[in-house]
Amino acid sequence: MSNYVLNTWYPLAWSRDINNSLHKRRIVGKDLVLYRNSAGNVVAHVDMCPHRMLPLSQGKLKGDVLECGYHGMQFDCSGKCVRVPGQDIIPSNAVVATYPTHENMGLVWIWMGDPALADTSKVYDLPQYHDANWSSVEGDALEIGCHYLNLADNLCDPAHVNFVHLTTLGSSAGEDVPVHHEKQEGKLITWRWINDAPAIPLFQKFGNFKGNVDRWHYYHYHAPSIAVIDFGSALTGTGAPEGNRDDCIQIYACHFMTPVDEDTTIDHWLHVKNFKASEETNKALSAEFRSAFQEDKVILEAIHQNERKYPEHRPIKLAIDASPTRMRKMVQGMIEAEKAPAKEAVAA
């Protein structure tokens, strides 16, 4: 787990998928067992009985008590053992590690670091998700066979859209338009405008534009595992580049990345848009996103396989790599900052 930021809120699962039965999940290389207790809260334990190490996900949930499937030891929602069949004394170390959770934007979030630092006000939130003038649709939990920072590279990179997503999110227009980026506190923004060009296929279908448009892409990366893409279009000449978005189509494509382990990432995605739509339109829009993200999956998995085959290769750097490079430095800085107190304690 040393290669991950731990003192952060990670997306773990869709709230819709966690009920009062046992669910197994994996994050930062650690297996967890989840369930929803009688109060409606999500409980997350390490998936291992402290006795003989059987995964607790192979046990039973009895009310709010989790019973190990091997010798019947029972653990409450805090992870404390409350029963050992056949004896009255409960060992003081009969405890299962338990992690703080919180729910927001349809997701279960988890804190894998120091529980004393788990401030729920720091859980990511997009105001438009709760705005009655906007509409949101939950997508999938897309499993991608790559390291989560490879997916983060992709989500700090508007340039790939012109080549990977020609039938959905991109077009050949703007291939040579420069990409800009700016680092803010805990956040990296990457963007570009493509002005006076035909609408991309997605907006041709859902935007009803009658002429060329000014199109923007703002990639908001919140270290280490959240990327929210603000993209949209307005008719050319209506002032969108100057800040007037009164008459436009605007969508936030939200990517909440779960770093499962070194080889696997789960992309929990949803979209939030500035217009109401029928169920049929929402399904059609989700299908477009699903197709686009599948295109990313194919590329990212192929890259990951080559990284494993050729570990000695050092990729060349291009101008478009400035933002992904800075993103990785941000994450590495967070990891090193977490390790620093431990190093200082050892030195003392």
81 contacts 91 by C-beta, under 8 angstroms: yes
- Nearest one of 213, 284, 281, 278 to 247, comparing CA atoms: 213
- CA-to-CA distance for 267 and 311, rounded, in angstroms? 25
Residue 344's pLDDT band (cuts 50, 70, 90): low
68 contacts 49 by C-beta, under 8 angstroms: yes
Residue 173, CB-side half-sphere exposure with 13 Å CA sphere:
17
pLDDT at 347: 53
Contact partners, residue 300, CB within 8 Å, separation at least 6 = 144, 145, 146, 150, 151, 154
- Whether the per-residue pLDDT at 1 is higher than 50: the answer is no
114 contacts 263 by C-beta, under 8 angstroms: no
Considering the chain, what is the average pLDDT of its residues?
93
Residue 2's pLDDT band (cuts 50, 70, 90): low
pTM comes to 0.93
Residue 197 CA to its chain's centroid (Å) = 31
49 contacts 70 by C-beta, under 8 angstroms: yes
- Domain assignments of the chain as residue spans, ordered by start: 9-120, 126-334
- Whether the per-residue pLDDT at 33 is higher than 90: the answer is yes
CATH topology for 9-120? Rieske Iron-sulfur Protein (2.102.10)
- CA-to-CA distance for 185 and 191, rounded, in angstroms? 17
- CA-to-CA distance for 204 and 198, rounded, in angstroms? 9
The beta-carbon contacts of 64-71 under 8 Å, at least 24 apart in sequence, are 64/37, 64/38, 66/22, 66/33, 66/35, 66/96
| pLDDT 10s digits, 239-292 | 999 999 888 999 999 999 999 999 999 999 999 999 998 999 999 999 999 999
Domain 9-120 identical in fold to domain 126-334: no
Looking at domain 126-334, its CATH class is alpha beta
Residue 78's pLDDT band (cuts 50, 70, 90): very high
User: Alpha carbon of 11 to those of 2, 26, 264: distances in Å?
Assistant: 19, 11, 14
- Whether the per-residue pLDDT at 346 is higher than 60: the answer is no
| pLDDT 10s digits, 172-227 | 777 888 899 999 988 999 999 999 999 988 998 888 888 999 999 999 999 999 99
Tell me what the mean pLDDT of segment 301-319 comes to: 94
3-state secondary structure of 325: helix
3-state secondary structure of 26: strand
Higher pLDDT, 319 or 10: 10
